[in-house]
């Protein structure tokens, strides 16, 4: 579905990505791991059109793309969910899901269509306890994250990037998110999943790619590796103990 070839990026003369390549299949959860500063988020921001690469190619469904703005990546079917949510607390779920893309009728916002489509999306991902008219301010952090995912699905994304999605969640909330990720993959979405929590990486992913110092270290099938090997690839040495 997706291939990134030889992506490089510098900021103020400092190279932060060195010819990184990555690919993703439909229906796959592909984990991206590495220490802080390894280049994970920068690579994903290049994919999402937030950074323009100095070198490299992005190929989606066999067609090469050059993104200079997030709207271009979104139009191509790529969505990204950051750790910091882009939601308006004093608006409803439906208003957030269709923010900037509100359906209209006779020159006015068609709230009935907007709310009906939001309800369909909530049902598709198996979410209960949220209605299109619920205000964001009344939702937990986990529920707000679900709204972010539904917001991405409303844009017909096919590749979904999730950057440390469980960082603000309690364990039981993270478990609910994992179930949702699996359902999305079953629907055929390709999911790039960034996490420091290796337990969930091994629970969710089909493959794992390790970055270190802005370079691609390895890509392995999750079933063919273990935590010790992944940590060794991340830090470049053996660790006698870690947490």
What was the pLDDT predicted at 44?
A: 93
In a domain, residue 93? The reply is yes
Q: Per residue in 53-66, pLDDT tens?
A: 999 999 999 999 99
Split at pLDDT 50, 70, 90, the class of 100 is confident
Domain that holds residue 207: 1-77+157-236
Report the run of H or E that residue 219 belongs to, with start and end: strand 215-221
In the chain, % of residues over pLDDT 90? 66
pLDDT over threshold 60, residue 88: yes
The structure tokens listed for 193 are: 């999943």
The structure tokens listed for 73 are: 């990546």
Contact 24, 192 (CB under 8 A): yes
**What is the Cα–Cα distance from 242 to 209, expressed in whole angstroms?**
20
In a shared domain, residues 71 and 189: yes
What was the pLDDT predicted at 171?
A: 80
In a shared domain, residues 68 and 180: yes
pLDDT (average), residues 92-115: 91
Domains contained in the chain, number = 2
Phi-psi region at 62: left, alpha or beta (left = phi > 0; alpha = psi -120 to 50): left
In a shared domain, residues 127 and 196: no
pLDDT over threshold 60, residue 127: yes
In a shared domain, residues 71 and 164: yes
- Least confident range from 62-66, 123-127, 188-192, 224-228: namely 123-127
In a shared domain, residues 207 and 145: no
Q: Per residue in 10-27, pLDDT tens?
A: 999 899 999 999 999 999
In a shared domain, residues 108 and 165: no
pLDDT over threshold 60, residue 243: no
- Least confident range from 111-115, 124-128, 134-138, 149-153: namely 124-128
Domain boundary among 116, 141, 156: 156
In a domain, residue 181? The reply is yes
In a shared domain, residues 135 and 172: no
In a domain, residue 82? The reply is no
What was the pLDDT predicted at 239?
A: 61
Q: What is the CATH number of the domain that holds 49?
A: 3.40.50.300
In the chain, % of residues over pLDDT 70? 97
In a shared domain, residues 19 and 37: yes
In a domain, residue 107? The reply is yes
pLDDT over threshold 70, residue 84: yes
Strands 29-33 and 207-212, sheet pairing = parallel
pLDDT top residue among 169 and 208:
208
The structure tokens listed for 30 are: 């592909």
**What is the Cα–Cα distance from 164 to 235, expressed in whole angstroms?**
19
Looking at every residue in the chain, the average pLDDT score rounds to: 91
In a shared domain, residues 62 and 95: no
In a domain, residue 242? The reply is no
What was the pLDDT predicted at 182?
A: 92
Q: Residue 152: CB partners within 8 Å, gap ≥ 6?
A: 79, 80, 81, 160
**What is the Cα–Cα distance from 105 to 128, expressed in whole angstroms?**
29
In a shared domain, residues 136 and 166: no
In a domain, residue 126? The reply is yes
In a shared domain, residues 47 and 165: yes
What was the pLDDT predicted at 241?
A: 58
pLDDT over threshold 60, residue 47: yes
pLDDT over threshold 80, residue 242: no
Q: 3-class SS at 94?
A: helix
In a shared domain, residues 189 and 121: no
In a domain, residue 116? The reply is yes
Residue identified by tokens 């390709």 is: 190
pLDDT (average), residues 234-238: 78
Strands 190-194 and 29-33, sheet pairing = parallel
pTM of the entire predicted model: 0.88
Domain boundary among 121, 141, 156: 156
In a domain, residue 241? The reply is no
Domain boundary among 124, 139, 156: 156
Q: Per residue in 173-206, pLDDT tens?
A: 888 889 889 989 998 999 999 998 999 999 999 9
């Amino acid at each position: 579905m997706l291939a990134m070839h030889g992506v490089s990026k510098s900021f103020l003369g400092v190279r932060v990505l060195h010819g990184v390549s990555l690919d993703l299949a439909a229906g796959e959860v592909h984990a991206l791991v590495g220490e802080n500063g390894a280049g994970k988020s920068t690579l994903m921001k290049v994919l999402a059109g937030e950074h323009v690469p100095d070198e490299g190619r992005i190929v989606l469904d066999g067609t090469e793309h050059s993104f200079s703005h997030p709207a271009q990546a979104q139009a191509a079917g790529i969505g990204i969910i950051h750790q910091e949510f882009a939601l308006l607390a004093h608006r409803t779920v439906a208003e957030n899901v269709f923010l900037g893309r509100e359906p209209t009728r006779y020159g006015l916002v068609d709230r009935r269509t907007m709310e009906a489509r939001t309800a369909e999306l909530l049902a598709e991902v198996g979410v209960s306890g949220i209605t299109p008219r619920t205000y964001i301010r009344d939702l937990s952090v986990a529920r707000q994250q679900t709204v972010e995912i539904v917001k991405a699905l409303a844009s017909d994304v096919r590749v979904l990037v999730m950057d440390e999605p469980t960082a603000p969640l309690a364990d039981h909330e993270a478990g609910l998110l994992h179930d949702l990720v699996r359902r999305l993959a079953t629907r055929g979405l390709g999911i790039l999943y960034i996490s420091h929590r290796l337990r969930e990486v091994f629970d969710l992913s089909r493959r794992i790619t390790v970055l270190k110092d802005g370079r691609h270290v390895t890509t392995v099938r999750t079933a063919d590796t273990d935590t010790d090997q992944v940590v060794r690839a991340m830090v470049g040495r053996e660790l006698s103990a870690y947490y």
